[in-house]
Chains A and B, each alone.
Chain A
């Protein structure tokens, strides 16, 4: 059942999806990748989708992937630019870069809905390994503020990682 449905979707709309993506991405290679990813996404779904408007359905998924692609690119560019602007510029290996961008991507999902202050506190605690007291001193807030920010950030972490429906 599931594979038939997917086959129909694929044979009927793969070409269309690819050119739909290419129009927006201006890059045929990425368009081909994301078109492929779109079908992989559907394949991985537990429930086969009930699709009345296959192209609307496909483009919704593809659009999400496109945004992810852009976000990843934006993060990588920002990171490399900032790195180059450091007083002692460094160029990490491609592998390290990949890992950092992956971390940044996850962070951007987790921190998405948090305020600037909460983001800052969470990053000081996790990336820099500072203690709550040290964070409070450094950014001149009470320890209570740090605790509340960490509570919000950890809740967000939990939701992103484990509450898949939220």
Chain B
């Protein structure tokens, strides 16, 4: 058997483009024929394709590891390794010869990745998945943190509070300022509001009083009963969805909520993967569910709606039509 030479960069790129198209699930019959032609065109194409298949299998769903856990583990470990590297670097200036080669290869790559993560793992106060925390700050502010939240608190700084990610409820007899991403929030005295921030989305609901939001040179004043939704630099006023406030009482409420949306909410309180088949996402449900026991909520849903759980482990649950 003759050995096939390695695929060229071009061929690998083509193979990846095909894989991504397959996984996007948007392949027509014509495209499929194009793929078959491409695959048969050269043994290197076929080899690149097979290697990608093997590479994909390497990281396939594993019940003890989900994306959240993996991402967090990598972040925390990266941070630790940065310190190690710093320590090792000072050793290396003594060690001298031979160190340079390795240093350039390993140090730059991981160091770069580490920078993206800074701030995400060093917040003052964080909550784990499913955890809620109440904090009484020295100025009388009461802070309630929802699941998966990271906050910095520093009364020597301005703004005094920074929400890195997650959700918090704020009620204050002071006027402590709060920042999340590019948005700065200044509450009036005795205001009560909630703030949610995840990826590009930021949502403010003012329950009592008033909050001023400053962003890119513009100011928005939001009063009790109103909301503000910020998405990729666009700021829009919204009404409040009461179902998105009930977490403050430790309850997830649904008022004719679509199952798909409910599952997305519930997922925040539960480690691992939780999903819902497309066919049942439109079903609606109403009720109040204590969020301390998400397994219980899932059983409840299966009683109320014609759905069942597909359970590979505690960390992998998908709702399917019954």
Contact = CB atoms under 8 A, between A and B. Distances in A.
Given A127-B67, A143-B24, A155 B131 contact: no
A64 B23 contact: no
A70 B88 CA distance: 11
A40 interface: no
A53 B75 CA distance: 37
Contacts of B67: 120, 123-124, 126-128
B102 A150 contact: no
Contacts of A64: 102, 106
A133 B16 contact: no
A104 B128 contact: no
Contact of A82 (B6, B76, B97): B76
B4 to A, nearest CB: 12
B101 A131 contact: no
Contacts of B99: 59-60, 63
Contacts of A119: 71, 74
* Secondary structure dominating the interface of A: helix
Interface residues of A, number: 68
Given A132-B23, A158-B55, A96 B97 contact: no
Interface string A99-124: 11001101110111111100110011
Contacts of A104: 65, 70, 73-74, 77
A163 to B, nearest CB: 8
A87 B64 contact: no
A59 B24 CA distance: 46
Interface in A24-53: 24, 53
A158 B76 contact: no
B182 interface: no
A128 B66 contact: yes
B28 interface: no
Contacts of A79: 69, 73
Nearest to B291: A87
A94 interface: no
Contacts of A143: 24
A1 interface: no
6 contacts: A59-B98, A78-B72, A113-B112, A127-B60, A150-B23, A155-B16
Interface of B: 6, 12-13, 16-17, 19-20, 23-25, 48, 51-52, 54-56, 58-62, 64-67, 69-78, 80-81, 84-85, 88, 91, 95-99, 101-102, 106, 109-110, 112-113, 116-117, 120, 128-131, 199-201, 231, 264, 271, 273, 275, 292, 314
